[in-house]
Each structure stands twice: as structure tokens, then as C-alpha cells.
Structure 1
């Protein structure tokens, strides 16, 4: 019991310090953000105000004599067309038609892969025992 008592006292002191730091941080937070009023911890009462009924504004009446004006878009002058980056469609179409046959042989299917059987058995004659013996000869633990 005497050995447990210091641990219990230390745990109580530690818990009290945590609680004090928590309260201190809460006070700092209240000082940082004064725009939010503190609400009392008691009973919360919410009051609603009666809203005024929405009144519709009368629409503007169009007079018979009033004429609607159509807006015209400004004309584009053709003399500046070469500076705007407009491509000559005939040249572009010709260039596309010339490049298409280069990719025409692809039909979306792959050719079957042919396996060269002459290279399959290149390591079939490998002898592990012989390789270990030769490695031991080359990498001697003692060197002259």
C-alpha cells in the first residue's frame, strides 16, 4: 500500500494539471474570439420575430410605342484573318489525308507472337554442383 500511494498522488496531481491547462486554453480561446458572445449555461430561450409578408413588386409594363432594338454584332474584317491564326481548311484537310494512309495498316488487331524455340533451352545444361565448386575455388577464404 505504501508503494502505491506515491503513484496515486502523482496521478491526481497530473490530472489536476491537465484540467488547469484545459481551463486556461478555454479562457485564451474566449479572448481570441470575442465576436461570439458567451451563452449562459442555464435554460436557452429562443424568440422568433414575426416576419412581414412578402410583397411582390409590379412588373414594368411595355408600352405599345416602345420598340425593341436588336443588337448587331460588329462585322469582322477579312483583311486581318491571316493574323488571327485561322488555318486554311483546304491545306489542313490535304495534310490530314496524306498522313492517314501511314496509319491505315493498323486494324486494331495484334499479330500473333512467334516464339523462337532455339533460345529456350540455353540454360538447360547448367550444373549447380559444378558452379558451386568453381565459385569456391575462385573465392578462397584465404588468399596468398
Structure 2
């Protein structure tokens, strides 16, 4: 009980201060002049939006700036002009007549070589280059079933319980 005495004293002091503060507020309220009612202000009314009145703004005075004359260089004609020389036409490197066979050859029958190929092979034979053109195409296609592959993959990768 003795430990609570300072606590109770503090509470009593706080209650006293609250009461005196309340009394001061009441006294100030009585001293105010209640005979004058508050002035209620009317809400401001705004005029309708319209075209603004035109405002005259004088143009600023422009300074006169002289345009600088550009440097003028006269066009001179050269006193001597070299004659044009046409480029000489190059002769073909091989003096053989150019084949009139179109370069695009159908490969429908690869066993019968074109005339141009026979001539080119004849050129390379004395040199022993052994140029061989193989047109064999090997097809490595096999039957592949995508659905079966997915099923087998699911079997291989199934979770172990």
C-alpha cells in the first residue's frame, strides 16, 4: 500500500490540473461576446466562361541587321583540258569461243554429262587433276513416329516411387 501512495498523489495532481484547465476554458467562453452572431459568407458565384478580352501587345522593335555578303569566288575555266581516254576493252582470257549452252543444266539424267562439262574435263585430263563430280545424293530418311517417341520418353522419365 505504501508503494502506491506516490502513484495516487500523481493521479490526484493530474485530476486537479485537468479541472482547473476546464474552469479556465469555461470562464473564457463566458467572457466572449455571444450577442454577435457569426457572419455567414455567401458562396462565391463565378461568371460563365467566355472569350477573353483581346489584349494589345505591341510588337518588339526589330534591330536592323545587315546581311553579310557571302564570299564570291568566280568560276574559272581551265586553260587546258586533257582529252578523255576511253578504257580499252579487255580481251577474253581464253581465246576459245564461249559456249552458247545455258549454264543452268537440268540434272534429271546425271549419267549423261553436258557438253560444257565434257570440254572442262578434257582440259583437266592432261594435268592429272582427277576432277570428279559426284552427284549422288544419299537419303538418310527413316520412319519416325513422333507420338511413339513421346510415349517412350514418358516411360523412360517417369518418377520413381
Please report the TM-score for the alignment, with normalisation by the length of structure 1: 0.23
Relative contact order (alpha carbons < 8 A, sep ≥ 6): 1 or 2 greater? 2
Tell which structure's C-alpha radius of gyration is larger.
Answer: 2
Identify, as 1 or 2, the structure richer in helix. 1
